[in-house]
Amino acid sequence: MLSQADNEALTRVGPGTVMGEYMRRFWIPAVLESELPENDGKPVRIRLLGEDLVAFRDTEGRVGLLDERCPHRGTSLALGVNGECGLRCLFHGWKFDVNGQCTDTPAEPEGSTLAKAMRVKAYPVRSAGGMIWTYMGPKETVPEFPHFPWFDMPEGHCEAFKVIYECNYAQSIEGAIDSAHAGVLHRESPWGHEAKWPHEKDLRPKLEVEQTSYGLRYCAVRKDGELNHGRVTQIPLPFYTFIPPDGEKAPAHRRHRRLINAFVPRDDVSTWHVQFFYDPTQVIERQHRIDEAGTYHDENFIKHVNIRNWYNQDRGMMRTTNMSGIVGIAVQDHAVSETMGPIADRTKEHLGRTDMAVVGWRRALLKAARTLADNGTVEGTPQGDIDWSKVTAETFLYPDTQHWKDVVPLPEELHAAVKSAA
């Protein structure tokens, strides 16, 4: 369990908080490219780390990410007119470019210089992997933009998704890095029936956790006949999980596909669940993934199947089809995390052996956030300095004569405490 102080430090992400300031030192996936499909189109409201922002694509195709509130009287700029290389407030016509500079105050007297003195907060952006990314930290410490492997996939081989997780980001991540739940929550047969997959047959995986320069990784080891069945999950700080493919025993369409989760805090009590789904060997069928995950949503990215309709849980299905009675892998994950409450009270939990990765992640993240708060240093290897093609999540079989670290080696430069950067 965590102390109340540690739970507060872990879960609070607004401006000025220990964790919020740490997360602002990373490039963050913010808006789907598909949300801004055209120049001078509809602005998009986006909430990130407790801040209300507006994104827009201007006349020349440049993307701006600004504080939503007009500095004049506080009206939402998302209501504004997008045109002529700027976003014009609907109240008095003040206009702002993608850099946040006011370029026009039409209601002011002729010759007024007020526009030159007016700015609205603007964050830098980059586009990659089907997402628009932003950096929300100090201007003097903008890190190099990371180059993740899914950025290089051929057309159609990578799809980006997002939906709202109606709880704090930390319990969202903790669900994703908990390998032991897979054979129960995601069980594809009723409890007591014959199990289909190795993770359903062996419900007591042995976990080994290894700290790295970018966070941590762990292997869940189960028995599969005479061999060991290993699944290595990568957990880069501050909010990523790299999920391994299903492996060679899975159906062909599932063997090589890879899933990246980014659990980006909207605020303290809700999360953007961003997923990059990619497969180097075949085109991703977007609708198939939505069907599999169950993440149908409205225009505001709120799930149709949610806590208010109790996830459409079918208790007849629990007796005949699957363990949960809930359709959709992602919806199953959301159900168990969201029903903990908006912010889980970790002072009341009782952890077991299979929670090792959860404990390791909490310790690593809290240590990194507090190190920044104490001395201004961002520990570990900066994201932009990492060859992310070497940070792989894998599923594999291996004999007792081998160790999983020999099968999925970690390059020396990615071991923990290699270097630090401000």
Tokens of 346: 């970790």
* 272 CB neighbour count, 10 Å cutoff: 24
162 and 48 in a common domain: no
For residue 238, is the peptide bond before it cis, meaning its omega torsion is within 30 degrees of 0? Answer: yes
Q: Is the pLDDT of residue 186 over 60?
A: yes
Task: Tell me, yes or no, whether 17 lies in a domain.
Answer: no
**Do 135 and 251 fall into the same domain?**
no
Residues 263 and 201 in one domain: yes
Residues 251, 136, single domain; the answer is no
Q: Are residues 126 and 156 in the same domain?
A: no
Non-local (6+) Cβ contacts of 6 within 8 A are: 346, 362, 366
Tell me, yes or no, whether 365 and 216 share the same domain. Answer: yes
Evaluate if residue 420 carries a pLDDT over 50: no
- Tens digit of each residue's pLDDT (9 = 90 or more) over 280-332: 999 999 999 999 999 999 999 999 999 999 999 999 999 999 999 999 999 99
At residue 172, the 3 state secondary structure works out as: helix
Between CA 60 and CA 35, with CA 121 as vertex, the angle to 5 degrees is 45
- Are 393 and 281 found together in one domain? yes
Mean pLDDT of 161-188: 94
Please report the pLDDT score of residue 219 as a whole number.
Answer: 96
Note the pLDDT tens digit of each residue in 353-375. 999 999 999 999 999 999 999 99
Q: Which residues constitute the domain of residue 409?
A: 149-414
Q: What are 324-336's pLDDT values in tens digits?
A: 999 999 999 999 9
Tens-place pLDDT, residues 234-252: 999 999 999 999 877 777 7
Give the tens place of pLDDT for each residue, 400-412.
Answer: 999 999 999 999 9
Pair (179, 136) in one structural domain: no
Helix (H) or strand (E) holding 359: helix 356-375
Residue 13 lies in a domain: no
Residues 171 and 134 both lie in one domain: no
State the amino acid at position 245 in one-letter form.
Answer: P
- Residue 25 has what pLDDT? 97
Does 12 reside within a domain?
Answer: no
Q: Tell me if 96 is assigned to some domain.
A: yes
Q: Tell me: the pLDDT tens digits for 30-69?
A: 999 999 999 999 999 999 999 999 999 999 999 999 999 9
Out of 88-102, 186-200, 332-346, pick the least confident: 186-200
Q: Is residue 332 part of a domain?
A: yes
Pairing between β-strand 227-236 and β-strand 81-82 as defined by DSSP bridges: unpaired
The residue among 95, 110, 141 that closes a domain is: 141
Q: What is each CA distance from 338 to 172, 306, 311, 345, in whole angstroms?
A: 8, 9, 11, 13
CATH code of the domain in which 99 resides:
2.102.10.10
Residues 83, 164: one domain? no
Alpha helix locations (H) across 177-314?
Answer: 182-185, 198-201, 286-293
| Structure token digits, residue 251 | 């159906």
pLDDT at 253 over 90: no
- Domain end among 107, 122, 141: 141
How many independent structural domains does the chain possess?
Answer: 2
Question: Taking the CB of residue 7, how many other CB atoms lie within 10 A of it?
Answer: 21
H/E element, 175: helix 169-176
Q: Which domain CATH number covers 193?
A: 3.90.380.10
* Residue 20 is assigned to a structural domain of this protein: no
Residue-averaged pLDDT of the chain: 94
Mapped onto helix, strand or coil, the DSSP state of residue 417 is coil
Indicate the burial class of 322 (C-beta count within 10 angstroms; 0-12, 13-18, 19 or more).
Answer: buried
- Whether 421 has a pLDDT exceeding 50, the answer reads no
On whether both 157 and 103 belong to a single domain, the answer is: no
One-letter identity of residue 354: T
Q: Is 22 among the domain residues?
A: no
The widest CA-to-CA distance across the chain, in whole angstroms, is 84
Residues 156 and 93 placed together within one structural domain of the fold: no
* Predicted local distance difference test score (pLDDT) of residue 380: 84
In a domain, 422, yes or no: no
Among 90, 121, 141, the domain-final residue is 141
Nearest to 239 by CA among 63, 30, 17, 67: 30
